[in-house]
Chain A
Amino acid sequence: MATAIEPVSRDRLSDRQRRRGRELLQGWGFAAPAIVLLAVFLVLPFILAIYSSFTDQRLVPNPNLPTKWVGWRNYSRLFEDEGFRSGLIFNGIFVLVVVPLQTAFALGLAVLVNKKLRFRNAFRTIYFAPVAVTMVVVAVMWTSFFNPSAGLVNSVLDTVSFGFLTPERFGFLNWALDRNGARAAIIILSIWQGVGFQMVIYLAGLQSIPESLYEAARIDGANPWQQFRHVTIPQLRNTTIFVVLSTTILAFALFDQVEIMTQGGPQDGTQTMILRLITFGFRQGQVGLGSALGVFYFVLVVVVAFTQRRLLKEERAVA
């Protein structure tokens, strides 16, 4: 049978080649539907966004006015637009308030529902439930709760403060009708809906911390607070990076709740970038200007995400 070795090995080689050729086809075959869809509905519009941002492209083309190259004019018009600048401001405020507040709140909730207490699963279920409620519905419900004269929020505040906290005394308690009140209302309802999501991510993080670290800390005489500060927090650093990054990106995309509750008012106090995007690109049909906003938005998200990642990672290197 020794003579049979030669043909078998040759066969094997060609077999491998054939297999490789087949894998090339199969590989593309498996990936093709997704690649085509991503190319047409993500890559193509992305390239088109960059291109149209330098033209005066309209949604409904005017045959008498062909689309022209306008250079950076859309970008300068963007920053001359009062609404867009207000949008940047409220987006900034929203990120600066919601990201730290919601992250801390989520961590607190995760620690609470991670305790060995009875009904802990019931509490987890309840705290996470708002995530299953569509944001548009959340905004509609909270809009009626924040009604200044007939809303649940003011009636609770009025009762617990024995009539001290009233819209007459504090302007922001007019909520959606007041600049700062509207901002506060949107921040509160956004945290209400979003915090359960981050809580679950933190909970997964907490459960991955080895118990031995806490035992070691206890032997060293660390009290619960010190254990939290020097074991839990450092061990959760990667989770925190993820939570902070994802909350920030979602905060920049702020749209649904504002569109329902205030449409950017009063006096542009709750204006956002995406609200302007839909106004330019859709309601006014200015594809060029809308695309410029889209490109700016993309660059902003990427820069902020990478900066945050960098900062949070460096902090780890120092600590």
Chain B
Amino acid sequence: MATTVAVGHAGEGVEGPRHSGWRRLQRPVTYSVMVLLAIFFVFPVVAMVVLSLQPDETQVIADQDSIWAFFPRALSLQNYEDVFGRDVGRAVFNSALITVVTVGLGLVVNSMCAYGLARLQWIGRNVVIGLVVALMIVPFQSVSVPLLLIVNRLGWLDTYHVQIIPFVANPFFIFLFYQSFIGLPKAIEEAALIDGAGRWTIYRRIVVPLSRPTFATVGILQALFVWGSFFWPLMVTRGPDVRPLPVAMQVLFSDPNVPLGDVFAFAAVMTLPVLALYLLFQKWFVQSVASQGLKG
């Protein structure tokens, strides 16, 4: 954070004494605003966890609009047991599997394509670059209905691969890799080439290790996207067998017989692992989002 610029502090030394009252107040006022904002951003997650620990459903309903939504009155895992009795384990497994496989394949396929575009001279290369850039503006939703027709004809409904294969290749991620690869110093690769290394070896042994931050960035973006994906799985999954978490959540939530405590427990199951990963790999999460700004 060495390059940090303190915008709010920039005026120090210019203001006259008439501002001294404000300046004494500035710090506490800023902190109060920041704390209020922090409460705004954190309260739903806290309430979700606290209420999910309350086994008594009438108490959940009574507490959910009071201060007791933030201070646990009970510490029971009953709701979690209930929820796992409702096939949540299956949905967790499905979502985890789909996310891991999609991101794993996506990192390989997109980075390979970007390497071919960034470092090799081949006929058709410029056409492919143009195509990748053009495809970035096609929203998935606009092609979803014919895609549904295609996967329906292929007999792919209610499978894992229908939720994986269409989302492996992504023009935006190819673009992010491409930008990162053209920035790598060419000299190392050329030296390896002279030493007789093949392109595949160079890609695997030099380009991939040097671009770890980009891989982390793209992996996190793609994982967040796949983990939370709802629109497409809603159309292509019917039974609980391959259903991912967001669809399972909707099924649970729209069932009036399911107690609210269970809904909160389910929400916590979906959220806490990702939040834990976020806290652990915060730097990468933030960087993955910040790198999106490169697109503009």
Which residues does A use to contact B, with CB under 8 Å? 20, 23-31, 33-35, 37-38, 41-46, 48-49, 52, 57, 59, 109, 111-117, 123-138, 140-145, 147, 150-152, 154-155, 192, 196-197, 200-201, 203-209, 211, 214, 217-218, 221-224, 227-228, 232, 238-239, 241-242, 245-246, 249, 252-253, 255-256, 259-260, 274, 277-278, 280-282, 287, 290-291, 293-295, 297-298, 301-302, 305
Are the CB atoms of A34 and B143 closer together than 8 Å?
no
Which residues does B use to contact A, with CB under 8 Å? 1, 3-11, 13-15, 27, 30-31, 33-34, 37-38, 40-45, 47-48, 61, 64-66, 69, 108-110, 112-113, 115-117, 120-125, 128, 131-132, 135, 137-139, 141-150, 152, 165-166, 168-169, 171, 174, 199, 203, 224, 227-228, 230-231, 234-235, 245-246, 249-250, 253, 260, 263-264, 267, 270-271, 274-275, 277-279, 282, 285-286, 289-290, 292-293, 295-296
Are the CB atoms of A135 and B230 closer together than 8 Å?
yes
> In the assembly, what is the distance between CA of A151 and CA of B249, in Å?
20
Question: Assuming the A-B contacts A42-B135, A282-B145, are A152 and B64 also in contact, with contact meaning beta carbons closer than 8 angstroms in the complex?
Answer: yes
Contacts of A141 in B (CB 8 A): 44, 47-48, 264, 267
Are the CB atoms of A253 and B267 closer together than 8 Å?
no
Contacts of B11 in A (CB 8 A): 218, 223-224, 227
Contacts of B286 in A (CB 8 A): 124, 128, 200
Contacts of B141 in A (CB 8 A): 253, 255, 274, 277, 294, 297
Contacts of B270 in A (CB 8 A): 134, 136-137
Question: Assuming the A-B contacts A45-B150, A147-B65, A260-B250, are A115 and B9 also in contact, with contact meaning beta carbons closer than 8 angstroms in the complex?
Answer: yes
10 A-B contact pairs sorted by A residue (CB < 8 Å): A31-B113, A114-B7, A116-B6, A151-B64, A204-B293, A209-B5, A214-B5, A239-B293, A274-B231, A305-B137
Are the CB atoms of B3 and A208 closer together than 8 Å?
yes
Question: Assuming the A-B contacts A134-B274, A196-B41, are A30 and B199 also in contact, with contact meaning beta carbons closer than 8 angstroms in the complex?
Answer: yes
Question: Assuming the A-B contacts A136-B230, A136-B249, A218-B10, are A114 and B4 also in contact, with contact meaning beta carbons closer than 8 angstroms in the complex?
Answer: yes
The one of A25, A115, A278 in contact with B234, judged by C-beta atoms closer than 8 angstroms, is A278
Contacts of A245 in B (CB 8 A): 296
B23 to chain A, nearest CB (A): 11
The 3 closest A-B pairs by CB, nearest first: A27-B122, A242-B296, A30-B116
Q: With CB as the reference atom, state the residue of chain B lying closest to A198.
A: B289
A315 to chain B, nearest CB (A): 15
Are the CB atoms of A38 and B285 closer together than 8 Å?
no
Contacts of B145 in A (CB 8 A): 49, 52, 277, 280-282, 287, 290-291, 293-294
Contacts of B4 in A (CB 8 A): 114, 116, 207
The one of B43, B264, B271 in contact with A134, judged by C-beta atoms closer than 8 angstroms, is B271
Given contacts A274-B231, A287-B148, A298-B139, 18 further A-B contacts (CB under 8 A): A34-B169, A46-B146, A49-B145, A52-B149, A114-B6, A125-B279, A127-B37, A129-B275, A134-B271, A144-B260, A155-B66, A192-B41, A205-B293, A207-B5, A223-B11, A239-B296, A242-B293, A282-B234
Question: Assuming the A-B contacts A224-B10, A282-B145, A287-B146, are A129 and B45 also in contact, with contact meaning beta carbons closer than 8 angstroms in the complex?
Answer: yes
Contacts of A133 in B (CB 8 A): 45, 271, 274-275
> In the assembly, what is the distance between CA of A252 and CA of B148, in Å?
21
> In the assembly, what is the distance between CA of A165 and CA of B147, in Å?
48
Contacts of B131 in A (CB 8 A): 38, 43
> In the assembly, what is the distance between CA of A300 and CA of B138, in Å?
11
The one of A23, A135, A253 in contact with B139, judged by C-beta atoms closer than 8 angstroms, is A253
Are the CB atoms of B285 and A128 closer together than 8 Å?
yes
Contacts of B203 in A (CB 8 A): 30
Contacts of A192 in B (CB 8 A): 40-41, 44
Contacts of A287 in B (CB 8 A): 145-146, 148-149
> In the assembly, what is the distance between CA of A59 and CA of B145, in Å?
9
Are the CB atoms of A23 and B120 closer together than 8 Å?
yes
Contacts of A152 in B (CB 8 A): 43, 47, 64-65, 69
> In the assembly, what is the distance between CA of A290 and CA of B144, in Å?
9
Are the CB atoms of B199 and A144 closer together than 8 Å?
no
> In the assembly, what is the distance between CA of A52 and CA of B148, in Å?
13
> In the assembly, what is the distance between CA of A129 and CA of B249, in Å?
20
A185 to chain B, nearest CB (A): 13
Question: Assuming the A-B contacts A28-B116, A223-B14, A239-B296, are A145 and B44 also in contact, with contact meaning beta carbons closer than 8 angstroms in the complex?
Answer: yes
Question: Assuming the A-B contacts A152-B65, A206-B5, are A294 and B143 also in contact, with contact meaning beta carbons closer than 8 angstroms in the complex?
Answer: yes
> In the assembly, what is the distance between CA of A24 and CA of B8, in Å?
55
> In the assembly, what is the distance between CA of A27 and CA of B112, in Å?
9
Are the CB atoms of A241 and B122 closer together than 8 Å?
no
Q: With CB as the reference atom, state the residue of chain A lying closest to B253.
A: A140
Q: With CB as the reference atom, state the residue of chain B lying closest to A130.
A: B41
Are the CB atoms of A35 and B139 closer together than 8 Å?
no
> In the assembly, what is the distance between CA of A282 and CA of B110, in Å?
30
Contacts of B246 in A (CB 8 A): 134, 136-137, 256
Q: With CB as the reference atom, state the residue of chain A lying closest to B118.
A: A30
Q: With CB as the reference atom, state the residue of chain B lying closest to A125.
A: B282
The one of B1, B13, B139 in contact with A218, judged by C-beta atoms closer than 8 angstroms, is B13
Contacts of A38 in B (CB 8 A): 131-132, 135, 169, 171
Are the CB atoms of B169 and A27 closer together than 8 Å?
no
Contacts of B128 in A (CB 8 A): 31, 35
> In the assembly, what is the distance between CA of A150 and CA of B62, in Å?
8
Contacts of B7 in A (CB 8 A): 111, 114-115, 206, 214, 224, 227-228, 232
Are the CB atoms of A137 and B267 closer together than 8 Å?
yes
Q: With CB as the reference atom, state the residue of chain B lying closest to A48.
A: B146
